[in-house]
Amino acid sequence: MHRPLGFMQTSGSSRQRQKGSKVIFQSPKSSVSTSGATEVRVDLKLDVKDVDFETLFRDLKVKLHQVGPHPSGKDLHGETLVALKDAVRELLMRGLAGEFEGIIGAYRDMLEQRAASGQDEAVARALTRVKLQTDVLNSVPMVDQAQACTILGLSTANPSASLRRLEARDAILRFDRSGRASYPLFQFDIPERRVHPVLIKLLQMRSDDWGGKMALLHWLTRPNRNLQGARPCDRLAEHPEAILSSFAAEVAEPLNG
C-alpha cells in the first residue's frame, strides 16, 4: 500500500513491494522503499525477541496498582485488559522510537539527494514541505508528556494515558519529533492549568480540506494582520475573539493572512 508523505502504511510482507521501487532503509525490524518522491512503503516486522518482557511485566504491575482493587470485582477483568494493552503499546512505542528516527532520516537524505540531482519538481516540493515543517517545529518551545501533565494538573504516573483523552477529543496540539510526543507550550493557559479554550475551538473549526495540525501550527505562528502583525499563538489569552474571526476567514478562504 502507498500513502503520501506523512502517512506511512505498515505491512507484513516485503515480497509485495511494487516493481521499480527502491529500498532506502533496512534493519532487522523494518524495510522502507519508495517509488517516487512523495510515496513511501514501510514493511515492519516484530518478533517475540523484540519484546522486553521484564519491562512489560514491570509496567503492567505499575498500571494494575494504579487501577487498584475494584469494589465489586465485576470490572476488574476489563480494567486488566486495558492496563495490559497500554503497557504493550508503550513498550512497542519505546522500542520503535529509534527505528522511526532512522526511517525519517533515510527518507530525508533521499529527498536531498534527489533535489541536488535536479530530478523533478515533486522532490523539490516535498523537500520544501519537510524543511518548512522542521523549521516551524524548531521555532516553537515544546514540552514533553510529563511536563504537559504537570502544567495541566494531570497524573504523571502514566503521562501517555493521562493525555490520551485530550488527544482523542482533538483538544490539544501534539506533534511527534524524533519519535517522541511534543506539545507546543503556547497552547497552555498555565495559571488555569488548561489548554486555552480558543485553541480547542480552532482545532474544531479546522477542516481536513483546509489542512492538518501542522498547517494550523504554521498559521498560529505567522504574523497576522488582524492582530496588528502579532502572531495568534502570542495572543490566545488576550484576543480570542479576534483570533477566531481571523481563522474563520482563513478556513473559508485559505491563504487569507
Each residue of 224-249: pLDDT tens digit?
Answer: 999 999 999 999 999 999 999 999 99
Q: Does residue 134 sit within a domain?
A: no
Is residue 10 scored above 60 in pLDDT?
no
- The letter for the amino acid at 112 is E
DSSP string, 80-93: HHHHHHHHHHHHHH
> pLDDT-based confidence at 116, cuts 50/70/90?
low
Same domain, 118 and 146: no
Same domain, 190 and 241: yes
Instruction: Give Cβ neighbours of residue 52 (< 8 Å, ≥ 6 apart).
Output: 91, 95
Q: What is the pLDDT of residue 53?
A: 63
Q: Does residue 24 sit within a domain?
A: yes
Separation CA 187–CA 200 (nearest Å)? 9
Stretch 61-83: mean pLDDT: 60
Contact 43, 11 (CB under 8 A): yes
Same domain, 98 and 165: no
Tell me the Cα Rg of the chain.
21
Q: Copy the grid coordinates of residue 146.
A: 510529563
Contact 195, 167 (CB under 8 A): no
Separation CA 184–CA 96 (nearest Å)? 23
Instruction: Give Cβ neighbours of residue 133 (< 8 Å, ≥ 6 apart).
Output: 214
Same domain, 112 and 7: yes
Q: Does residue 61 sit within a domain?
A: no
Cα–Cα distances (Å) from 171 to 162, 174, 194, 201, 203, in that order, read 13, 10, 10, 8, 7
Same domain, 210 and 162: yes
Q: What is the pLDDT of residue 172?
A: 95
Q: Does residue 202 sit within a domain?
A: yes
Contact 195, 239 (CB under 8 A): no
Q: Does residue 55 sit within a domain?
A: no
Same domain, 9 and 112: yes
Same domain, 162 and 223: yes
Same domain, 206 and 98: no
Q: Does residue 21 sit within a domain?
A: yes
Question: How many C-beta atoms surround the C-beta of residue 169 within 10 A?
Answer: 11
Query: Which residue range is the domain that position 31 belongs to?
Result: 3-47+87-123
Is residue 182 classed exposed, middle or buried when 0-12, 13-18 and 19+ CB atoms within 10 A define those classes? buried
Q: What is the pLDDT of residue 208?
A: 76
Cα–Cα distances (Å) from 215 to 81, 129, 136, 224, in that order, read 37, 11, 10, 15
Q: Does residue 66 sit within a domain?
A: no
Beta-strand relationship, 3-4 and 142-143: unpaired
Q: Copy the grid coordinates of residue 223.
A: 504574523
Same domain, 8 and 115: yes
Same domain, 24 and 119: yes
Please give the DSSP secondary-structure letter assigned to residue 36.
Answer: S
Same domain, 115 and 203: no
Total number of domains constituting the chain:
2
Same domain, 41 and 150: no
Q: Does residue 58 sit within a domain?
A: no
Is residue 152 scored above 60 in pLDDT?
yes
